[in-house]
C-alpha cells in the first residue's frame, strides 16, 4: 500500500520541469552554467528516473529519507550528529510536531463541540435552536479559510489587541516559566486551530445530528422510554453511544483533509509545520522532502485510521464482548 | 416561514461583518504616543523585522536565497564594502594597491581584527576563503569570478595578494561580495555539510544569538566586532511567509520594519492617519530595472523596426503610474539612475503610436480586416511570459493593452519560477518576457550582453549579438581607469538603446515602512540606501517594547 | 415536488439560481469590460460609478465579480463532471464484477484517500502551468473516490434484485444491465455527492488562488480578486468583502441544496 503511495508520488513529481538548481540565485548574472551543472551532478539529478526511484526506495527501508536539496543537506526525517557532537535536526522532525499538535487539538475540538451541537440540534429538532445551529454549521462549511483567517487576525489582533496575529511564540518567550509558555503557545494556536477545524466541525456536527435523529427514532429508544428511564439517561447514555460510534471512523477519515488543509493556515499564521514545508519543497523541487512528507503523511493517516478502528472496537460493546469471550 | 428566517439571518451577516470591520477601522490606538522630534542616542533595544522565507544556510557562498544573505550580511565581513555614496571603502582591508601591470592587487588588512570567538583574523583566513570558493567540491554557483585569480597568497598575516591572468576591472567589486570565513573553525569541516551553516562565527557587527527553526532568527551585538559596536543590541527576524500577515503585524506594532508595496505606500498609509503617526515611510532606488525582452532569434523580433515600433507603442509613464503609483524612474541605460554609468545624453523612447505605426508599415506590415497588423499572411501576435510577481503581471497587462491599441495581438502567461526558467528560458522557447535584472555595482555586463554568452542557462538568453558591443564589453572589463570606463559604457548604452533588443520599462523604488521607535535613519536615502548605516540606528528607551529580560 | 417543501433545498436552489442568472447574463449586466484598465481610478471605493469599487489597476470589481461567477461555476461543473464520470465508471466495475477487479479498485481508492488531496493538487498544479483547465482536471482527478464508493455500495445492494437477475438470464449484456438497470437507480447518492462536490471545488479554487496557483491573470476569478486585495484589507475592504461573500454564498447554496436533496430523497423519510 505504501509502495503504491510512494510510486504515485514519485512519478507525479517527475512531471515537474526544473529541479533544485533553478532557484532565484541561479538567475543571477554572477553564477555560471558550469557551476550549476556541477551542482546537478552532486545531487544525482542527471540519472534516469527509475534509477533515482530505486535508490530512494532502498534507503527508506532503512528509514533514511535522505537529505534535503534546498535546505543544504539537512536530513529530511530525523536529526543527525556529526563528529563534533553537533546536532542538525531533521526537517520533518521539526515541522511534524506542530502540525500534529494543531490537528490533534482540532480533532479534540471537532469531536467535543460537534457532539454537543449535533445532539442539541437533534433533540430540539425544528426549533430555532436547531435552525441556528444548522445555519452556523453551513456557514462554517462554506467560508473560505484564508478569508476568515485574515478577518479574524485583523479583528482580534489589530483592531483589538486580544490575540497574537501570527507565529507560535511571543518575543521574550524563553524567559517565561513553563506555565506561561504553554499559555502563550495556546494563545497563538487559538486562531489557527479554529480556522483549520471549522469545516470539519461543521460537517461532523451535521453528521452527529443526523445520526442522533436516526437513533432516536429506533425501537430500543422507545423501549427505554417505556421502561421509565429518565429522558436524560435515554439521550446521553443510550442514544449518544450509538450515534457516536461511527463518528470515530469518520474522524479518522478526515485526517488527510486536516493535514492537507494546513498549507494555507500555516502560511497565513506563520506556523512552521508540515504543510508549509511541503509547499516550499514543491516550489523548490526538493524531491527528497516531498517524498518524505507524502510518505509520512500517508503513514499518519493509516495510523490514525488504525487508532480509529481500535477505538471503535473498544467502544462498541458488541465487539468488546466478542473479544473478551 | 422558518426558511425566511434563515435567509434573513444569512442576509444580515454581511452587514454585521461590514459594520464590525468599519467600526474597528476607526478604533483609536490603545496607547497614543507623543513622538518627539529629537531623541538622544541610547544603546540597546531589539529591532524586529519580518522575512518571507527562512534562511537555509548562513554561508553566503553556498546559500542562494535572499533571506540567507540578508542575515549573513550582518555576521560576516568582506575585504571591501561600499560607502554611502557607493564608492569602495575599507571593511576588513585598510587599503589595496593595484600593481603597475594592472594584474595584481595587494590588500593590507586593518590592525586588531578578531573573530567573534576572540581568535585573530588574518590573511590566512582570506586565503582560506578563496580556496574554498574556488574548490570544485564546494557547492557554490559563485565561483567563476574567483577562478580568474591565477595566484593567491598570504605572505604575512596582514597582507593578501591576488594575481589575475588579465586585467579584470570588476575584480575589486568581487572582493566586496565575498564573506571571509574563519580558517581555524572550518579547515577540517566539509563546507557543504557543516554545523557552521546554522551556527556561524563571523567578524561583523552581530553574531547569532538564537535560531528558532521556522520561526525567527535573533542576532546580538558582537563585542569583538571588527567594525565597532552597533547601537541596537539585538536584531530579530521573524519568519512570516504571508505579506498580508506581515502588514497586520506591522500595524499592530509587533514588527518594526518591513518592505511594502506601492499601494501600501501611496494609498493605505495616507488614508490611515493612525498608522502614519507611528510609522515612517522610506523609499530608495533599487539597483536594477524591469524590462520587456524579445527573443531575437525568432520572428518578428529579428526586425529592428518591429522592436522599435513596440518600444514607441508602450507608454512607460503609464506603467510607472499604474503599476508603481509613480514610485519608479524611467531608464534609457541598463544601469541604476543617478550613477555615473548612466549615459546622460540618452532618453527613453517616448510614447509615440504614430511612429510605431509608421515603422511597422515601413517593414511591410499592413492592417488586415480585423484591424491587426499582418505580413505575408501572418498576423503580428505573440505571447508575453512572466513569473509570479504581482508587479510584472500588472506591467504585462498594461503593455498588452497599448500593443492591442495599435494592432498587435498579445497574450499573457504567468508561470511559476522554476518552470519558467527551465521550460522556457533555458530552451529558448519564448517570444517575449517581462523580467528584471538585479545588477552588481560594477558596470560590467559581459554575462548579459556578450554574443558568447548565449548558451543554454547563460544570461544572454535573448540572443543579442552586436560586434561593436562585444568589443566595448571586452574593453570595459580590462580598463581600470573609471573615466575611461565611463566612456566605454556610455557608448555601450547608446548601442543598446538604438538596437532596442529590450524595452526598458522602469527602475522601481524599494519601499520600507519603519516604526518610529527606530531612530537615526537617513531620509532621503543616500545612494547606498537606508540600510547602509543600520549599525548607527538606535531605539530610544522610552519607545522600546517591554519584552526580553536582558 | 417535495423539494419545494424542504426549506434547506429551497434556499439552496434560490441562491444557486440567482448566481446562475448573474453568471449567464454577465456580459449584459456588467457595466464595464472586466479587463478594462483605468489607471486614473485605482482602488476607488464603492460608489455610483463603481458599485463594488475598483481594483489595483482600476478595473471595475462588480464586472469582474460577474465574470468571476462564470469561472467559479465552470470550475465547479467541469471538475465535478470529471470526478463523477470517473467515479461512475470505476464504481460500476467494482460493484458489478466484484472479485479481484473490486479489490484492485478499492486499493486504488484507499491509496488516493490516504494522500492528502490538497497536497496532491498543489504539487501537480505547481509542476504544470496553473491554468483553468489544469485546475479543473486535477480537482476532478482527486475527488472521484467518494462517488466510486457510493456507486459500488448501491450496486452491491441492487444487483441482488430480481429484475437484474432476470435481465441476466435473458442474456442482456453487462453494459446494458449496468446502464439501464443499475445506474438509474443509483442516481440519488451520485446527485447529492455531485452537488456537494461543486461547493468543494469552488473552495479549492479560491485556496489555490491564495497560493498563487489558481486561475491566472488577467482572467477574473473570485479567488484571485480576494488574493489581490489581501494586503490592503485595512483600506480596500471592498476587494475582500465582496468576493469573500460571493464564495460563501455560492458554497452555502450548493451545500444547502445537497443536504436538502439528501433529506428529500432519503427513502427513510418516507415513513
Mean pLDDT value across residues A299-318: 75
d(CA B199, CA B370): 64
Which chains touch C (3+ CB pairs under 8 A)?
A, B
| A142 vs C120, C230, C255: nearest CB | C255
pLDDT band at B485; cut points 50, 70, 90: very high
The ipTM value here is 0.84
Mean pLDDT across chain A, nearest whole number? 75
Query: What size, in residues, is chain A?
Result: 325
Number of CB atoms found within 10 A of residue B536's CB: 15
Residue A259 has a pLDDT of 77
B467 torsion bin: left (phi>0), alpha (psi -120 to 50), beta (else):
alpha
Closest listed residue to residue A92, CA positions, set A290, A303, A306: A290
The nearest CA of chain B is from the CA of C163 a distance in Å of 41
Quote the cell numbers at residue A89: 535536526
pLDDT, one tens digit per residue, over B326-339 is 999 999 999 999 88
Question: pLDDT, tens digit, for every residue of A233-249?
Answer: 666 666 677 777 777 77
Instruction: Provide the 3-class DSSP secondary structure of residue B469.
Output: helix
Full-model pTM: 0.86
> From CA C87, how far away is CA A254, in angstroms rounded?
20
> What is the pLDDT at residue C266?
63
B266 has a chain C CB within 8 A of its CB: no
Q: Closest residue of A to B19, CA-based? A: A155
Q: What is the mean pLDDT of residues C142-159?
A: 85
Best mutation target, B26, B140, B457, to test chain A (most A CBs within 10 A): B457
Greater model confidence, B37 or B283: B283
DSSP characters for C222-264? HHHHHHHTGGGTTT-THHHHHHHHHHHHHHHHHHHHHHHHHHH
pLDDT of residue A298: 76
Helix (H) or strand (E) holding B47: strand B46-51
d(CA A265, CA A259): 10
pLDDT at position C1 over 70: no
Task: With both helix axes pointing from N to C terminus, report the angle between A2-13 and A287-315 in degrees, rounded to the nearest 10.
Answer: 150
Using CA atoms, how far apart are residues C207 and A144, in angstroms rounded to an integer?
A: 8
Average pLDDT over residues A272-297: 82
Cα separation, B357 vs B380, in Å, equals: 13
Residues C18 and A240: their CA atoms lie apart, in Å, by 40
pLDDT, tens digit (0-9, with 9 covering 90-100), for B263-317: 999 999 999 888 999 999 999 998 999 999 999 999 889 999 999 999 999 999 9
| CA-based nearest residue in chain B for residue A86 | B195
**Touching check for C232 and chain A: CB below 8 Å?**
no
pLDDT of res. B388: 81
Q: Has residue B532 got a pLDDT over 70?
A: yes
Q: What angle do CA A95, B196, A170 make, to 5 degrees?
A: 45
pLDDT at B7: 45
In angstroms, how far is CA C69 from the centroid of its own chain?
12
Q: What is the mean pLDDT of residues A261-287?
A: 85
Among all residues of chain B, which has the CA nearest to that of C238? B18
Mean pLDDT to the nearest integer, B59-70: 87
Nearest CB partner across the interface for A95, out of B65, B214, B440: B214
Q: Which pLDDT value is given to residue B392? A: 93
3-state secondary structure of B375: strand
On the question of pLDDT at C61 being above 70, the answer is yes
Mean pLDDT across B463-488: 93
Q: What confidence score (pLDDT) does residue A82 get?
A: 62
Q: How far apart are CA B176 and CA B91, in angstroms?
A: 9
- Which residues in B lie closer than 8 A to residue C33 (C-beta atoms)? none
Query: What are the two backbone dihedrals, phi and then psi, of residue A304, each rounded to the nearest 5 degrees?
Result: -60, -40
Beta bridge partners, B49, equal B237, B257
C-alpha closest to that of B219 among B49, B65, B80: B49
Q: Is residue C194 a contact partner of residue C88, using CB atoms and an 8 Å limit?
A: no
Give percent of chain A above pLDDT 90. Answer: 4
Say if the Cβ atoms of A297 and C247 lie within 8 Å.
no
CA distances from A92 to A19, A288, B30, B286 (A): 21, 11, 41, 37
Q: What is the predicted pLDDT for the residue at A283?
A: 79
Give C177 or C111, the one with higher predicted confidence: C111
- Say yes or no: C188 contacts chain B, CB-CB below 8 A: no
Q: Could you please report the per-residue DSSP string of A229-249?
A: --HHHIIIIIIHHHHHHHHHH
Chain A residues with beta carbon closer than 8 angstroms to that of B24:
154-155, 158-160
- Please tell me the predicted confidence (pLDDT) of residue C269: 45
Contact C231 B14 (CB under 8 A): no
Q: Is the pLDDT of residue B386 over 60?
A: yes
Is the Cα torsion angle B55, B59, B63, B65 positive or negative in sign? Answer: positive
Beta-carbon neighbour count of residue B427 at 10 Å?
12
Distance, in Å, from the CA atom of B437 to the CA atom of A115, rounded to the nearest integer, reads 58
- Interatomic CA distance for residues B121 and C110, integer angstroms: 61
Q: How many beta-carbon pairs under 8 angstroms link A with C?
A: 130
The whole-number pLDDT of residue C12 equals 86
Residue B196 DSSP label: G
Residues 324-363 on B with a CB inside 8 Å of C are 325
Q: What are phi and psi of B515, to 5 degrees?
A: -60, 145
Residue C219 has pLDDT above 50, yes or no: yes
Touching check for A287 and chain C: CB below 8 Å?
A: no
C46 interface with B at CB cutoff 8 Å: no
Mean pLDDT of B416-425: 79
Query: Which residues on chain C are in Cβ contact (under 8 Å) with B24?
Result: none
Q: Could you identify the residue written with the cell 452556523?
A: A136
pLDDT score at C196: 87
Check residues A81 and A281 and name the one with the higher pLDDT.
Answer: A281
Q: Are C221 and C239 in contact (CB under 8 A)?
A: no
Q: Give dist(CA A264, CA A256) in Å, integer.
A: 14
Residues in a beta bridge with B46: B234
C-alpha cell at B64: 542562494
* Number of residues written out for chain B: 550
Residue recorded with cell 557551476: A35
pLDDT digits (tens, 9 = 90+) for B115-127: 999 999 999 999 9
pLDDT tops 60 at residue A32: no
Q: How far is C208 from chain B (nearest CA, A)?
A: 13
Q: Confirm or reject contact between B422 and chain C (CB < 8 A).
A: no
Within 8 A by CB and 6+ apart from A284, the residues are: A20, A23, A69, A70, B418
The CB density around residue B106, as the number of other CB atoms within 10 Å, is 17
Higher-pLDDT residue of A300 and B5 is: A300
Q: Do A260 and C116 touch (CB under 8 A)?
A: yes
A126 Cβ under 8 Å from any chain C Cβ = no
Which residues in chain B have their CB less than 8 angstroms from residue A27's CB?
421, 425, 459
C11 and B244 in contact by Cβ < 8 A?
Answer: no
> Which phi and psi (to 5°) does residue B51 adopt?
-125, 150
pLDDT at B414: 84
DSSP C192-220: HHHHHHHHHHHHHHHHHHHTT-SSPTTS-
> Which of A102-106, B288-292, B407-411, C178-182 is the least confident region?
C178-182
Residues whose CB is less than 8 angstroms from the CB of residue A316 and which lie 6 or more positions away in sequence, other chains included = A245
What span, in angstroms and rounded, lies between the C-alpha atoms of B444 and B335? 10
Computed over every residue of chain B, the mean pLDDT equals: 88
Say how far apart CA B464 and CA B448 lie, in whole Å: 9
The residue among A286 and C45 whose pLDDT is bigger is: C45
pLDDT digits (tens, 9 = 90+) for B348-370: 999 999 999 999 999 999 888 88
CB contact under 8 A, A150 and C233: yes
C267, pLDDT greater than 70 = no
What is the percent of chain B with per-residue pLDDT over 70, rounded to a whole number? 93
Give dist(CA B264, CA B243) in Å, integer. 11
Contacts of B22 in chain C (CB under 8 A): 237
pLDDT band at residue A279 under the 50/70/90 scheme: confident
Q: Are C116 and A297 a contacting pair at CB < 8 A?
A: yes
**pLDDT given for residue B232 in this prediction:** 94
Q: What is the length of chain C?
A: 271
CA distances from B301 to A243, B297, B383, B502 (A): 70, 7, 12, 10
A214-221 contacts at long range (C-beta below 8 A, 24 or more positions apart): A214/A243, A214/C268, A215/A239, A215/A242, A215/A243, A216/A122
Interface test mutation site (partner C, options B5, B10, B272, max chain C beta carbons within 10 A): B10
Which residues share a beta bridge with B207?
Answer: B220
**Of chain A residues 233-272, which have a CB less than 8 A from chain C?**
253, 256-257, 259-261, 263-264, 267
**DSSP string over B232-291:** S-EEEEEE---HHHHHHHHHTTS-SEEE--HHIIIIIHHH-HHHHHHEEEEEEE-SEEEE
pLDDT band, residue C60 (cuts 50/70/90) = very high
- C58–B contact, CB cutoff 8 A: yes
CA distances from residue B313 to B104, B351, C58, C80 in whole angstroms, order as listed? 49, 6, 21, 44
Contacts 24+ apart (CB under 8 A), C177-184: C177/C96, C178/C92, C178/C96, C182/C92, C182/C95, C182/C96, C182/C154, C182/C155, C182/C158, C183/C88, C183/C92, C183/C151
B382: three-class secondary structure by DSSP: strand
C103 chain-A contacts, CB cut-off 8 A: none
Kindly report, residue by residue over A178-204, the tens digit of the pLDDT. 888 888 889 999 999 998 888 888 878
pLDDT (0 to 100) of residue A316: 67
A281 and C CB contact within 8 Å: no
pLDDT for B375: 86
Looking at residue B208, what is its pLDDT?
95
**Can you spell out the DSSP letters for A90-118?**
-HHHHHHHHHHHHHHHHHHHHHHHHHHHH
Residue contacts between B and C (CB atoms, under 8 Å): 88
Asked whether the predicted pLDDT for residue B94 surpasses 60, the reply is: yes
Any chain C CB within 8 A of the CB of B22?
Answer: yes
Tell me, what's the pLDDT at A264? 87
Which chain A residue has its CA at the smallest distance from B421's CA? A22
CB contact under 8 A, A283 and C234: no
Contact between chains at C211 and A264 (C-beta distance less than 8 A): yes
Mean pLDDT value of segment B340-344: 92
The three three-digit cell numbers of residue B17, written as one number: 461583518
pLDDT confidence tier of residue B550, bands split at 50, 70 and 90: very low
Position A235 scores a pLDDT of 63
Using an 8 Å Cβ cutoff, are B528 and B86 in contact?
A: yes
For residues B286 and B510, the answer to whether their CB atoms sit within 8 Å is: yes
Whether residue C218 has a cis bond before it, omega within 30° of 0? yes
For residue B261, list chain C residues with Cβ-Cβ distance below 8 A. 231
Closest CA to B72 of B162, B167, B200: B200
pLDDT at A160: 84
pLDDT tens digits for range C72-84: 889 999 999 999 9
- Which pLDDT score, from 0 to 100, does residue C184 have? 76
Which pLDDT band holds residue C180 (cuts at 50, 70, 90)?
Answer: confident
| Distance in angstroms (rounded) separating the CA atoms of residues B178 and B158 | 18
With CB atoms and an 8 Å threshold, state whether A18 touches B422. Answer: yes
A142 and C111 within 8 Å at the Cβ level: the answer is: no
Residue A116 confidence (pLDDT) above 90: no
C181–chain A nearest CA distance, Å: 29
For an interface test with C, give the residue of A103, A131, A141, A218 to mutate (most C CBs within 10 A): A141
Band of residue C155 on the pLDDT scale cut at 50, 70, 90: confident
Q: Which residues pair with A75 in a beta bridge?
A: A67
- C141 in contact with B, Cβ within 8 Å: no
What is the structure's pLDDT at B415?
82
In this predicted structure, the answer to whether residue A34 has a pLDDT above a threshold of 70 is no
A23 pLDDT above the threshold of 60? no
User: Mean pLDDT throughout B36-60?
Assistant: 89
Lowest mean pLDDT among B19-33, B159-173, B501-515, C201-215: B19-33
B399 inside 8 A of chain C by CB: no
Q: In this predicted structure, what is the pLDDT of residue B493?
A: 95
- C-beta separation of A286 from A69 below 8 A: yes
| pLDDT surpasses 60 at B15 | no
Task: Return the half-sphere exposure (C-beta side, CA atoms, 13 A cut-off) of residue B294.
Answer: 26
Comparing A273-287, B50-64, B171-185, B188-202, which segment has the lowest mean pLDDT? A273-287
pLDDT at B24: 44
Amino acid at each position: 500500500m505504501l509502495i503504491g503511495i510512494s510510486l504515485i508520488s514519485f512519478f507525479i513529481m517527475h512531471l515537474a520541469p526544473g529541479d533544485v538548481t533553478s532557484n532565484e540565485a541561479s538567475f543571477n548574472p554572477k553564477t555560471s552554467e558550469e557551476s550549476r551543472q556541477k551542482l546537478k551532478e552532486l545531487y544525482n539529478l542527471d540519472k534516469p528516473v527509475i534509477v533515482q526511484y530505486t535508490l530512494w526506495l532502498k534507503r527508506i527501508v532503512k528509514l533514511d529519507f535522505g537529505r534535503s536539496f534546498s535546505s543544504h543537506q539537512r536530513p529530511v526525517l530525523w536529526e543527525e550528529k556529526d563528529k563534533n557532537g553537533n546536532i542538525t535536526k531533521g526537517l520533518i522532525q521539526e515541522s511534524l510536531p506542530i502540525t500534529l499538535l494543531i490537528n490533534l487539538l482540532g480533532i479534540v475540538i471537532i469531536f467535543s463541540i460537534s457532539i454537543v451541537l449535533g445532539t442539541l440540534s437533534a433533540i430540539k429538532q425544528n426549533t430555532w435552536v436547531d435552525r441556528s445551529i444548522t445555519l452556523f454549521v453551513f456557514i462554517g462549511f462554506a467560508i473560505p479559510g484564508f478569508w476568515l483567517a485574515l478577518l479574524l487576525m485583523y479583528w482580534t489582533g489589530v483592531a483589538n489587541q486580544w490575540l497574537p496575529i501570527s507565529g507560535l511564540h511571543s518575543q521574550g518567550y524563553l524567559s517565561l516559566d513553563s506555565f506561561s509558555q504553554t499559555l502563550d503557545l495556546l494563545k497563538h494556536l487559538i486562531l489557527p486551530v479554529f480556522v483549520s477545524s471549522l469545516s470539519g466541525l461543521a460537517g461532523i456536527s451535521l453528521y452527529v445530528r443526523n445520526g442522533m435523529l436516526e437513533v432516536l427514532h429506533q425501537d430500543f429508544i422507545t423501549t427505554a422510554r417505556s421502561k421509565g428511564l429518565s429522558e436524560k439517561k435515554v439521550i446521553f447514555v443510550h442514544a449518544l453511544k450509538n450515534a457516536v460510534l461511527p463518528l470515530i471512523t469518520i474522524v479518522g477519515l478526515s485526517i488527510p483533509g486536516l493535514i492537507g488543509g494546513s498549507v494555507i493556515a500555516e502560511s497565513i499564521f506563520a506556523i512552521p509545520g508540515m504543510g508549509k514545508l511541503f509547499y516550499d519543497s514543491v516550489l523548490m523541487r526538493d524531491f527528497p522532502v516531498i517524498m518524505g512528507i507524502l510518505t509520512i503523511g500517508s503513514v499518519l493517516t493509516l495510523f490514525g485510521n488504525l487508532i480509529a478502528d481500535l477505538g471503535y472496537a473498544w467502544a462498541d460493546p458488541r465487539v468488546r464482548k466478542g473479544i473478551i469471550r | 416561514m422558518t426558511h425566511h428566517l434563515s435567509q434573513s439571518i444569512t442576509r444580515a451577516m454581511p452587514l454585521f461583518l461590514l459594520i464590525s470591520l468599519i467600526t474597528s477601522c476607526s478604533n483609536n490606538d490603545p496607547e497614543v504616543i507623543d513622538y518627539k522630534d529629537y531623541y538622544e542616542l541610547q544603546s540597546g533595544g531589539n529591532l524586529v523585522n519580518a522575512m518571507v522565507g527562512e534562511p537555509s544556510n548562513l554561508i553566503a557562498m553556498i546559500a542562494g536565497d535572499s533571506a540567507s544573505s540578508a542575515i549573513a550580511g550582518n555576521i560576516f565581513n568582506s575585504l571591501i564594502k561600499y560607502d554611502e555614496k557607493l564608492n569602495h571603502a575599507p571593511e576588513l582591508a585598510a587599503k589595496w594597491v593595484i600593481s603597475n601591470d594592472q594584474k595584481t592587487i595587494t590588500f593590507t588588512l586593518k590592525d586588531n581584527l578578531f573573530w567573534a570567538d576572540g581568535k585573530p583574523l588574518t590573511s590566512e583566513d582570506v586565503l582560506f576563503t578563496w580556496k574554498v570558493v574556488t574548490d570544485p567540491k564546494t557547492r557554490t554557483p559563485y565561483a567563476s569570478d574567483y577562478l580568474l585569480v591565477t595566484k593567491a597568497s598570504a605572505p604575512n598575516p596582514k597582507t593578501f595578494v591576488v594575481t589575475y591572468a588579465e586585467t579584470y576591472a570588476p575584480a575589486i567589486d568581487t572582493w566586496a561580495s565575498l564573506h571571509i570565513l574563519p580558517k581555524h573553525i572550518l579547515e577540517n569541516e566539509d563546507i557543504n555539510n557543516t554545523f557552521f551553516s546554522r551556527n556561524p562565527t563571523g567578524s561583523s557587527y552581530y553574531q547569532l544569538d538564537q535560531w528558532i527553526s521556522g520561526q525567527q532568527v535573533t542576532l546580538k551585538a558582537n563585542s569583538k566586532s571588527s567594525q565597532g559596536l552597533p547601537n541596537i543590541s539585538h536584531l530579530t527576524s521573524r519568519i512570516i511567509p504571508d505579506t498580508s500577515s506581515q502588514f497586520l503585524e506591522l500595524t499592530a506594532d509587533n514588527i518594526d520594519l518591513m518592505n511594502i508595496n506601492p499601494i501600501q505606500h501611496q494609498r493605505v498609509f495616507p488614508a490611515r492617519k493612525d498608522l502614519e503617526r507611528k510609522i515612517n515611510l522610506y523609499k530608495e532606488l533599487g539597483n536594477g530595472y524591469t524590462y520587456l525582452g524579445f527573443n531575437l532569434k525568432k520572428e518578428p523580433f529579428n526586425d529592428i523596426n518591429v522592436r522599435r515600433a513596440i518600444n514607441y507603442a508602450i507608454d512607460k509613464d503609464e506603467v510607472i503610474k499604474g503599476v508603481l503609483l509613480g514610485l519608479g524612474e524611467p531608464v534609457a541605460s541598463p544601469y541604476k539612475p543617478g550613477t555615473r554609468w548612466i549615459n546622460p545624453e540618452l532618453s527613453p523612447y517616448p510614447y509615440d503610436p504614430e511612429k510605431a505605426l509608421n515603422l511597422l508599415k515601413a517593414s511591410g506590415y499592413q492592417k488586415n480586416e480585423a484591424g491587426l497588423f499582418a505580413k505575408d499572411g501572418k498576423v503580428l501576435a505573440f505571447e508575453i511570459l512572466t513569473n509570479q510577481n504581482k508587479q510584472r503581471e500588472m506591467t504585462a497587462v498594461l503593455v498588452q493593452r497599448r500593443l492591442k491599441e495599435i494592432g498587435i495581438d498579445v497574450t499573457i502567461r504567468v508561470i511559476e519560477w522554476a518552470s519558467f526558467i527551465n521550460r522556457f528560458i533555458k530552451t529558448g522557447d519564448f517570444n517575449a518576457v517581462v523580467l528584471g535584472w538585479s545588477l552588481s555595482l560594477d558596470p560590467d555586463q559581459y554575462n548579459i550582453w556578450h554574443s558568447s554568452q548565449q548558451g543554454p542557462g547563460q544570461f544572454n538568453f535573448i540572443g543579442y549579438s552586436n560586434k561593436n558591443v562585444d568589443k566595448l564589453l571586452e574593453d570595459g572589463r580590462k580598463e581600470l581607469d573609471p573615466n575611461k570606463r565611463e566612456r566605454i559604457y556610455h557608448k555601450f548604452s547608446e548601442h543598446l538603446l538604438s538596437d532596442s533588443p529590450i524595452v526598458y520599462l522602469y527602475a522601481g523604488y524599494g519601499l520600507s515602512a519603519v516604526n518610529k521607535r527606530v531612530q537615526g535613519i537617513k531620509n532621503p536615502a543616500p545612494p547606498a540606501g537606508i540600510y547602509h548605516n543600520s549599525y548607527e540606528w538606535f531605539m530610544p528607551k522610552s519607545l522600546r517594547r517591554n519584552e526580553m529580560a536582558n | 415536488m417535495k423539494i419545494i417543501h424542504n426549506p434547506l433545498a429551497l434556499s439552496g436552489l434560490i441562491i444557486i439560481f440567482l448566481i446562475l442568472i448573474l453568471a449567464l447574463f454577465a456580459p449584459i449586466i456588467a457595466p464595464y469590460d472586466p479587463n478594462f484598465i483605468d489607471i486614473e481610478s485605482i482602488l476607488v471605493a464603492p460608489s455610483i460609478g463603481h458599485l463594488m469599487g475598483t481594483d489595483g489597476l482600476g478595473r471595475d470589481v462588480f464586472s469582474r465579480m460577474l465574470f468571476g461567477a462564470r469561472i467559479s461555476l465552470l470550475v465547479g461543473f467541469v471538475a465535478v463532471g470529471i470526478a463523477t464520470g470517473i467515479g461512475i465508471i470505476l464504481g460500476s466495475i467494482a460493484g458489478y464484477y466484484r472479485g479481484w477487479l473490486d479489490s484492485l479498485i478499492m486499493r486504488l481508492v484507499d491509496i488516493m484517500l490516504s494522500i492528502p488531496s490538497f497536497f496532491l493538487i498543489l504539487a501537480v498544479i505547481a509542476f504544470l502551468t496553473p491554468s483553468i483547465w489544469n485546475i479543473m482536471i486535477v480537482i476532478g482527478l482527486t475527488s472521484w473516490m467518494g462517488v466510486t464508493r457510493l456507486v459500488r455500495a448501491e450496486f452491491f445492494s441492487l444487483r441482488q434484485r430480481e429484475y437484474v437477475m432476470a435481465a441476466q438470464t435473458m442474456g442482456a449484456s453487462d453494459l446494458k444491465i449496468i446502464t439501464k438497470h443499475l445506474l438509474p437507480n443509483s442516481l440519488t447518492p451520485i446527485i447529492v455527492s455531485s452537488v456537494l462536490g461543486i461547493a468543494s471545488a469552488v473552495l479549492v479554487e479560491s485556496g489555490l488562488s491564495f497560493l498563487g496557483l489558481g486561475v491566472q491573470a488577467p482572467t477574473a476569478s473570485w479567488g484571485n480578486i480576494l488574493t489581490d486585495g489581501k494586503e490592503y484589507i485595512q483600506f480596500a475592504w471592498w476587494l475582500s468583502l465582496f468576493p469573500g461573500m460571493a464564495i460563501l454564498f455560492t458554497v452555502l447554496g450548493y451545500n444547502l441544496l445537497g443536504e436538502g436533496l439528501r433529506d428529500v430523497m432519503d427513502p427513510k423519510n418516507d415513513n
